[in-house]
């Protein structure tokens, strides 16, 4: 089955906004990638899914490294700019710097030319370990070689074509409920 971009049936996902930074033939670039996921703890791996004709895909393919900056609640304008323009036509890093909307620092463990976003909820520097074409995107998997996060900064959420902030936390089930479920799970256990 093929679904068109922006099909309402696919809008039930809730994601973060990964701001993927890279450097290559077109120079430093930033793009907004809704499909950014931590997929392994050991080794620590992050997957980003990017269209193959984007500047970021070309940069990562060439340099074999990239930055992952999880957008903070306050960075919705940065996300809109990074997602609205294509890096093959617009120097988005310069637009963000010159407008005073965003500040960057040089990566520490990957190429110093890769910009990392100041004020993000999380910054990770990644070395490419695998890439694979999946449908209309390329999944780039990078091993995290440097990471920092500020637990006081909450990540920006994306759902149904809009940005959201985290709301009230929902309490986990009470211990008596979990104990009862544990008893039922033991009763229904499959032996192998």
Predicted local confidence at residue 12, as pLDDT: 84
Residue 6 pLDDT exceeds 90 = no
Q: Quick one: which H or E segment has residue 80?
A: helix 76-84
What would the pLDDT profile of 156-182 be if each residue is shown by its tens digit?
Answer: 999 998 999 999 999 999 999 999 999
Structure tokens at 122: 């999380």
- Percent of the chain residues past pLDDT 70, beyond the cut: 100
Query: Would residue 81 be called left, alpha or beta, if left means φ above 0 and alpha means ψ between -120 and 50 degrees?
Result: alpha
3-class DSSP assignment, residue 175: helix
Predicted local confidence at residue 8, as pLDDT: 80
Question: pLDDT grade, residue 191 (50/70/90)?
Answer: confident
- Percent of the chain residues past pLDDT 90, beyond the cut: 91
> What number is the average pLDDT over the span 99-114?
97
- Nearest CA to 163 among 93, 80, 55, 43? 80
Q: CA 100, CA 76: separation in Å to the nearest integer?
A: 14
Question: pLDDT grade, residue 7 (50/70/90)?
Answer: confident
Q: CA 20, CA 78: separation in Å to the nearest integer?
A: 12
């Amino acid at each position: 089955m093929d679904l068109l971009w922006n099909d309402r049936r696919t809008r039930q996902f809730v994601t973060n906004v990964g701001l993927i930074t890279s450097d290559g033939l077109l120079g430093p670039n930033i793009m907004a990638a809704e499909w950014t996921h931590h997929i392994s703890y050991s080794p620590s791996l992050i997957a980003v899914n990017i269209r193959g004709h984007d500047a970021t895909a070309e940069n990562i393919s060439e340099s074999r490294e990239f930055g992952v900056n999880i957008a903070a609640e306050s960075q919705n304008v940065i996300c809109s700019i990074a997602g609205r323009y294509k890096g093959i036509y617009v120097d988005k890093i310069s637009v963000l710097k010159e407008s005073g909307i965003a500040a960057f620092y040089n990566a520490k463990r990957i190429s110093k030319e890769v910009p990392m976003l100041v004020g993000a909820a999380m910054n990770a520097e990644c070395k490419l370990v695998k890439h694979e074409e999946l449908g209309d995107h390329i999944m780039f998997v990078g091993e995290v070689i440097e990471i920092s996060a500020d637990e006081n900064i909450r990540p920006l959420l994306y759902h149904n074509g809009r940005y959201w902030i985290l709301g009230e936390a929902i309490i986990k089930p009470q211990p008596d409920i979990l104990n009862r479920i544990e008893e039922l799970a033991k009763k229904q256990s499959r032996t192998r």
